[in-house]
Chain A
Amino acid sequence: MKSKALTAAISVVLGAGVMAQSVTVEFWHTFGDPKRGGWIQAKADAFNKANPNIKVVPTFKGSYPDILQAATLAARQGKPPALVQMYEIGSQFALDSGIFQPVGGIGTLDTSDYIKPVLNYYTINGKVNSIPFNSSSPVLYYNKDLMTKAGLDPNKPPMTYGELTAACAKVAAANLGVKCFGVSLNGWFFEQWMAQQGALLANNSNGRKGRATEVLLTSEPAKKIVSWLKDMNDKGYYTYTGKLEDWDGSDAIFTDAKVVFHITSTADIVNIGDAAKKTGFQMGVGMLPIADGVKRNGVVIGGASLWISKGIPKEQAEAARDFALFMTGTENMAEWHKLTGYYPVRVSAVEVLRKEGWLKEDAPQLVAFNQLLQTTPNEATAGALIGPFQQVRRIVEEAIQKVFSGTSVDAALTEAKTKADAALKEYNASVK
């Protein structure tokens, strides 16, 4: 093992010495805002300075589906970008597109520093496919001032469906003119709640032991989730903007202090925290409330990872990998976390943050940390590999909306399963 590493190291050094001309690494990402996009550019600049024969060119390319489409089109034109940021649910599709190569196959990759559940998600068929970059999971944000006004203890956020429902009863009784609980109607949360119950979303071990052919939407855990949401909606405790996947709309409801409890990604801790301060209320962060009577199983990592294109010269692939590792290295990940709220997915980065006192007892980020670190790495929390994931997510969301407007949970979920399975069948038939 050691001699292999030594050989690899020597060949890299030799190779680097032989490389006279510069290698360009195009990096396509989804961060169009100056804060995050600017950070990425700064990292590229630093890397380019330290590696004069490599030129990393980060480009903001739009949303994840835009990037997927653009990358595949570019590959077909014979000019794929070396490094691509791809969201987690696009993993099966990215694999099937055949335009990427597993990162773990480029030289040797040291994965010992990564947090286990995160690595789990991105390891497919025993190989590490992509390097985790911006990772997140859902947490519960709450308005401490409103909680106090409703007679709730602002230091004891609800941890289960039952506790949340009870808290909402108190909020309703207090007649504060606000709704109790909000979350964007997004299938992501449904998937998280499934994993929390240790339930599989797709067959064949969540699509990891074999291609998924069924989406398990009619299981008991699935029904539990949707029944609870229906209950919250029927009782008038739940609110959302009405549009599916309207993250920002739901965020706005919380930051405008019109809802007491709000569930969304931990990646928004900084933004929401700032907004809460501006509006003038105290914000708290708690773990994702889970179904009653189940042991807390943990969360599926969300966010995106860095994929390397196939069919590019070896030096380019290695340069891309090196930049990816640099950008997601210990110091940089700690910095990224402080800037945005995304997880630092390296154990060493967590250590650095702890040493800096960043994760004091009451730091809101600590909740998300503990939630991830306490996740049991198993098939459920490894996350599902589904080809037409976006489509399936939409089907789930529409089912929940139908339940809100009166369809029974069983009927809606049965119909959803039929649709999802059909989508899977169609997808599987179109793969080479």
Chain B
Amino acid sequence: MARRAVQTALIHLTLIVVVLLVGFPLLFALIKATQTGAAVNSANVIPSTHLWDNLVSAWNGAKLGLYIRNSFVVAVGITVLKVITSSLAAMVLVYFRIPAKSLLFTLILLTLMLPTDLLVVALFDLVNKLGWANTYQAVIVPFAASATGIFLLRQHFMNIPGSLLDAARIDGAGPFRFLLSVLVPLSWNTIGALTLIQFIYGWEQYLWPLIIIRDSSHQVIQVGLKSLIGQASGQTDWGMVMAGTLVAILPPVIMFTLLGRQFSKGFVLSESK
């Protein structure tokens, strides 16, 4: 009994130390967001009183409110489209009898090795030609499909027992009925997990919006934040940047909190039956 108590105490202690170490930079950012001027880029960790001012600067002066709204549009758009297209594609790859299935799956998986960031120049030319420069669709549509999503959903579908499938077939259900009333209800965890990952992916977009979006009415938060960090001497209001950081981190953290449980349950990569 005592050994258990000691063990538990040790675990708590370790975790607290680790949390402090891992979480320190955020605490640092929090303190810095309350400071202003030169105190921010110094060792001073005494909280000051400028948090509200910095937040107001960041929200209004640096238009963070606008950027956050745009990032929401983009992140949600990307997430919804990815979930839909991945579900449809995964369903085909598992439940349809078509030729060259392996080839198609391989072609889809190969795109995991084509990171958008390396292709932005070519992508710019293309999107420009489509007339989509500076629009929401320019930052959403190129990411509307997801090899990761297809991979995970396919895995998940393959783990669903065949008995359920037979039952639905006896009912005479067509593919869409099957998808919506059988597969989806069984896949909430995976979908939830996918939603979380893709939302954060969409939220973190930086290089592509930087290139294709030219005015702030459509610009996203990561570009907005980074652009506050000036290159030359003294051009950066670091207190405002720190405050902006705290605001920008909230939506992903909220998503984590909301979807955390789905995430835990949504990744069954091996037969756990």
A interface residues (Cβ-Cβ under 8 A, vs B): 30-38, 59-66, 69-70, 73-74, 76-77, 87, 184, 245, 247-249, 251-252, 255-256, 264-265, 267-268, 271-272, 274-275, 278-279
Please measure, in the bound complex, the distance between the C-alpha atom of A278 and the C-alpha atom of B38, giving whole angstroms.
9
In the complex the two chains form, is A248's CB within 8 Å of B39's CB? no
In the complex the two chains form, is B232's CB within 8 Å of A249's CB? no
Contact residues in B for A271 (Cβ distance below 8 Å): 37-38, 234
Across the A-B interface, the 6 shortest Cβ-Cβ residue pairs: A275-B38, A62-B227, A63-B231, A247-B233, A33-B237, A34-B61
With A73-B211, A77-B128 already in contact, the answer to whether A252 and B42 are too (CB < 8 A) is: yes
Please measure, in the bound complex, the distance between the C-alpha atom of A278 and the C-alpha atom of B41, giving whole angstroms.
14
Other-chain contact of B227, A35, A60, A256 (Cβ < 8 Å): A60
In the complex the two chains form, is A265's CB within 8 Å of B227's CB? no
In the complex the two chains form, is B39's CB within 8 Å of A64's CB? no
Q: Which one of B37, B128, B232 has the highest number of Cβ atoms from chain A below 10 Å of its Cβ?
A: B232
Contact residues in A for B233 (Cβ distance below 8 Å): 184, 247-248, 251, 264-265, 267-268
Other-chain contact of B41, A65, A245, A252, A268 (Cβ < 8 Å): A252
The smallest C-beta distance from A43 to any residue of chain B, in angstroms, reads 16
The smallest C-beta distance from A296 to any residue of chain B, in angstroms, reads 23
In the complex the two chains form, is B61's CB within 8 Å of A38's CB? yes
Other-chain contact of A31, B39, B223, B235, B238 (Cβ < 8 Å): B235
Contact residues in A for B43 (Cβ distance below 8 Å): 256
With A32-B227, A73-B124, A274-B37 already in contact, the answer to whether A248 and B61 are too (CB < 8 A) is: no
Chain B interface extent, by class = 20 to 34
Q: Give the residue name and chain of the A residue nearest to B212 (CB).
A: A73
Contact residues in A for B197 (Cβ distance below 8 Å): none
Interface of A is mostly: helix
Beyond A31-B230, A76-B128, 15 extra complex contacts between A and B, CB < 8 Å: A30-B232, A30-B235, A31-B235, A34-B57, A34-B62, A63-B227, A64-B231, A73-B124, A77-B128, A247-B233, A248-B234, A248-B236, A267-B233, A272-B38, A272-B234
Contact residues in A for B62 (Cβ distance below 8 Å): 32, 34, 60
Q: Which one of B37, B215, B229, B238 has the highest number of Cβ atoms from chain A below 10 Å of its Cβ?
A: B215
Is B210 in contact with chain A by the CB < 8 A criterion?
Answer: yes
Q: Give the residue name and chain of the A residue nearest to B63 (CB).
A: A60
Is B33 in contact with chain A by the CB < 8 A criterion?
Answer: no
Is B228 in contact with chain A by the CB < 8 A criterion?
Answer: yes
In the complex the two chains form, is B216's CB within 8 Å of A59's CB? yes
The smallest C-beta distance from B111 to any residue of chain A, in angstroms, reads 26
Contact residues in A for B216 (Cβ distance below 8 Å): 59
In the complex the two chains form, is B227's CB within 8 Å of A278's CB? no
Please measure, in the bound complex, the distance between the C-alpha atom of A96 and the C-alpha atom of B109, giving whole angstroms.
42
